[in-house]
Chains A and B, each alone.
Chain A
Amino acid sequence: MNVIGTRTLLEKEVRRFLRVPGQTILQPVVSTTLYFVVFGAMQQGRLVEGVPYVAYIVPGLVFLSVANNAFLNASSSFFICKIQGTMVDILVAPLGPLELLTGFILGGVVRGLLVGALTWGASMLFTAPHLAHPLWTLLIVSLSAWVFAVFGFMAAQWAEKFEQVNFFPTFLVTPLTFLGGVFFPVKALPELFRAASLFNPVVHMVEGLREGMLGVPASSSLGVWLLVSLAVVATALAWRLLASGYKLKT
């Protein structure tokens, strides 16, 4: 493995998003914080599963920050390489699928975790911090960031226009998120959606995070294994696409 090359790629990814912190860090934190302001004010005093509503939505909003930013970093960075022609530098260099996936996906994970942590920090303005199981929280949040960064990477490899990169967040990630228990327990959904939610990975991510942060048990103990399986399958698929040169090599 080209360790120096991988480290360089990861460093470049992190430095790239740190060069525009207003766009890559501050803006997502501010927009997520607005959810606390609006929902916190509207649902003041309400308890959900024994937890004040403002505290209840913290794991979901942290997840939103992590997932969105992991996805956006991997997708925009890799797609911009295609658009501005610097993909040539990456493809000619001795960087194989292992190095490329590690560099780009970890870059997305780092941004996702950073924005997630800042969102959690912002939540403390509205509610007391809760961290019932720190390691479990870290595991779930890292798995979520990894999965969404892989999705972002694959979306960028597939896309030929910026519009297509945004296809996934708009038509896949957002519906899964809003039906994924970010703002309410999935038990509150109609029966059909509740059954379908078992196949929604976001449900397991949010419930896992809620368990880790608030100590509220997840509805299924299989959730984490589903997430691990999803991460493995998604990474293997991304590996395969990259190794085949799909839409990268003629």
Chain B
Amino acid sequence: MAASPELPALEVDSLVKRYPSLTALDGVSLSIAPGEIFALLGPNGAGKTTLIGVVCGLVKKTSGRVRLLGHDLDVDALAPRRDVGLVPQEVNFDPFFTARETLRIQQGYYGRPRDEARIAQVLEALRLTSKADAPTRALSGGMKRRLLIAKALVHRPKLVFLDEPTAGVDVELRRDLWDYVRQLRAEGTTVVLTTHYLEEAEQLADRVGIIDRGRLLLVEEKSRLLARLGERRLDVRFREKTALPVGLEGTLADDGRAFSYVERAGARTATEVLEALYAAHLPVADVTMAPPRLEDVMLRVLKETRA
């Protein structure tokens, strides 16, 4: 059965993975729509990679169900994997082959006839063309990581898992990858992303899931989540020692020259606080407004659920 547009790209129901001394996934249920970019966030050991491992056939589940591109993995685990790509956390490469040969092999593994044009396109997109015919062992660390991404995409998957794709890579590759992920979304590819760089998730994700100790704590649209739990931060520096108007919330530094205010849902907005400072004719020298950050949201959610 082929995945139709209305079917979720991935459906996970009550998924449990137990190891002898650890429950890595504790009843995770999740649905990811076709064409969306879903960021799965959580601290180390939260269960992100285990979840991806179960879906991709690297980890055996203890119980629960997984439907991948419309296929129940208990019924047919192989057919849907023709349309899945995975960028694993750990860089791997086969030193016997060049980058181009590696991509040919990868295309073949996925049952695709050789498509040199597609290989050239992916090499170009990941800036590997100049090293396409070099042995993979001769590639730099960043280039090996690019090749890893190219391998996951060369067979035109409908669903791509990016498990910490930019861990330890330079800014240039990170930006390149972000651009490429946006391009994938424009082409209708579903992307599941785990990352420690929460800025990455802020930039790319449509929806966000936060997982901790094997439990999925929340799943929400990124913009709604930031609006609901995000904290916009206002920092103001004064030219001279200042006292705050009575009733104004926020924190004034001991020297009276710096003021900070964290905006939360339901409270006075940062803009209103700033207006109040100007209305009181305080000697404002500099103003910085930081938007809500997923990092703060995640830490807040983790703190509240662990309390």
Residues of A in contact with B (beta carbons under 8 Å apart): 2-5, 7-9, 11-12, 15-16, 19-20, 84-86, 88-96, 245, 249-250
Give the interface SS of chain A, mostly helix, strand, loop or mixed.
helix
**Would you call B64 an interface residue if the criterion is a C-beta within 8 Å of the partner chain's C-beta atoms?**
no
Q: In the complex, A85 Cα to B87 Cα: how many Å? A: 12
Q: In the complex, A143 Cα to B107 Cα: how many Å? A: 31
The one of B19, B53, B93, B109 in contact with A8, judged by C-beta atoms closer than 8 angstroms, is B109
Q: Are A88's CB and B86's CB within 8 A?
A: yes
**Would you call B227 an interface residue if the criterion is a C-beta within 8 Å of the partner chain's C-beta atoms?**
no
Q: Are B56's CB and A94's CB within 8 A?
A: no
Shortest CB-to-CB span from A158 to chain B, Å, is 18
* Chain A hits for B113, CB < 8 A: 4
Q: Are A8's CB and B78's CB within 8 A?
A: no
Q: A8-B108, A88-B88 are in contact. List 9 more A-B contacts (CB 8 A).
A: A5-B108, A85-B92, A86-B92, A86-B94, A92-B84, A94-B79, A94-B110, A95-B78, A250-B60
B 98-126 binary contact with A (CB < 8 Å = 1; else 0): 00000011111111110000000000000
**What bracket does the count of chain B residues touching chain A fall in?**
20 to 34
Shortest CB-to-CB span from B285 to chain A, Å, is 54
Q: Are A16's CB and B59's CB within 8 A?
A: no
Q: Which residue of B lies closest to A85 (CB)?
A: B92
Closest CB pairs A-B (n = 6):
A8-B108, A85-B92, A93-B109, A94-B81, A94-B78, A94-B82
Q: Which residue of B lies closest to A18 (CB)?
A: B96
Residues of B in contact with A (beta carbons under 8 Å apart): 19, 53, 56-60, 78-79, 81-82, 84, 86, 88, 90-97, 104-113, 151
* Chain B hits for A93, CB < 8 A: 81, 106, 109-110
Q: In the complex, A16 Cα to B105 Cα: how many Å? A: 12
* Chain B hits for A12, CB < 8 A: 97, 105
Q: Are B59's CB and A249's CB within 8 A?
A: yes
Q: A91-B58, A92-B81 are in contact. Are A84 and B96 (CB under 8 A)?
A: no
Shortest CB-to-CB span from A64 to chain B, Å, is 26
Q: In the complex, A19 Cα to B98 Cα: how many Å? A: 12
* Chain A hits for B104, CB < 8 A: 8
Shortest CB-to-CB span from B199 to chain A, Å, is 27
Q: A92-B56, A94-B110 are in contact. Are A19 and B96 (CB under 8 A)?
A: yes
Shortest CB-to-CB span from A129 to chain B, Å, is 34
Give the interface SS of chain B, mostly helix, strand, loop or mixed.
loop
Shortest CB-to-CB span from A9 to chain B, Å, is 7
Q: Are B56's CB and A89's CB within 8 A?
A: no
Residue with the greatest number of chain B CB neighbours at <10 A, chosen from A19, A91, A96, A245? A91
Q: A16-B96, A94-B81, A94-B82 are in contact. Are A88 and B112 (CB under 8 A)?
A: no
* Chain A hits for B107, CB < 8 A: 8
Shortest CB-to-CB span from A170 to chain B, Å, is 26
Q: In the complex, A84 Cα to B144 Cα: how many Å? A: 13
Q: In the complex, A21 Cα to B197 Cα: how many Å? A: 45
Q: Are B111's CB and A4's CB within 8 A?
A: yes
* Chain A hits for B95, CB < 8 A: 84
Q: Are A94's CB and B111's CB within 8 A?
A: yes
Q: Are B109's CB and A9's CB within 8 A?
A: yes
* Chain B hits for A16, CB < 8 A: 94, 96
Q: Are B109's CB and A249's CB within 8 A?
A: no
Residue with the greatest number of chain B CB neighbours at <10 A, chosen from A3, A5, A9, A11? A5
Q: A250-B53, A250-B60 are in contact. Are A89 and B110 (CB under 8 A)?
A: no
Q: Which residue of B lies closest to A10 (CB)?
A: B108
Q: Are A89's CB and B106's CB within 8 A?
A: yes
* Chain B hits for A245, CB < 8 A: 60
Q: List 9 A-B contacts (CB under 8 A).
A: A2-B82, A5-B110, A89-B92, A89-B151, A93-B81, A94-B81, A245-B60, A249-B59, A250-B19
Q: Are A4's CB and B112's CB within 8 A?
A: yes
Shortest CB-to-CB span from A56 to chain B, Å, is 39
* Chain A hits for B84, CB < 8 A: 92
Q: In the complex, A86 Cα to B148 Cα: how many Å? A: 10
Shortest CB-to-CB span from A35 to chain B, Å, is 30
Q: In the complex, A19 Cα to B79 Cα: how many Å? A: 32
